[in-house]
Chains A and B, each alone.
Chain A
Amino acid sequence: QVQLQESGPGLVKPSDTLSLTCAVSDYSISSTNWWGWIRQPPGKGLEWIGYIYYSGNTYYNPSLKSRVTMSVDTSKNQFSLKLSSVTAVDTAVYFCARRATTSSCFDDWGQGTLVTVSA
């Protein structure tokens, strides 16, 4: 059973860059899966941010594309998210998740980490 674990600062200042990492265990990140980031503002619904393949290919939500960068480190079996120029609206619980191999669903998720944007 794959395990995903997010890590990173819980507080980021406005205009700074949010940086998170997702460590994947009990499963190779080099398998035929895309690895994604999804966020959920407090009391609101889920929003897909984007995902990355082990080769480094990425695909981002068009509404966030200008501020998002994702990367993968196969040697550490982890992938990362950077979101630049954050504001209060970027305050959310950030989840990393695995997209299923043969379906467009996300079949395994990390527990999520709350990132608050505040001075």
Chain B
Amino acid sequence: DQQVKQNSPSLSVQEGRISILNCDYTNSMFDYFLWYKKYPAEGPTFLISISSIKDKNEDGRFTVFLNKSAKHLSLHIVPSQPGDSAVYFCAASAYDGNKLVFGAGTILRVKS
């Protein structure tokens, strides 16, 4: 039972364009969402987060959008850079929880 789903295993984008990574969840108790980025042979690193009281959070080139009614969130990277090429994981947590539930990840390739 996958509570957090990233339906696109991979995404290829031209440098300078926008990358949009999508994530869907099923558990209505989730109210905190995070994106992590992972390079090969390294652990995931935190990128950006959003709580359910917001519908948008922005940090530089990275913006996360949350649509609670659709149980959907997305990560926008603009402009995309070759160094953004990595695996991106969506994760979620319930208010009274501390464990993160992760999606399977999306491989992003930014072509120069």
Are A and B physically bound partners?
no
Which B residues are within 8 Å of any A CB, using their own CB?
none
Which A residues are within 8 Å of any B CB, using their own CB?
none
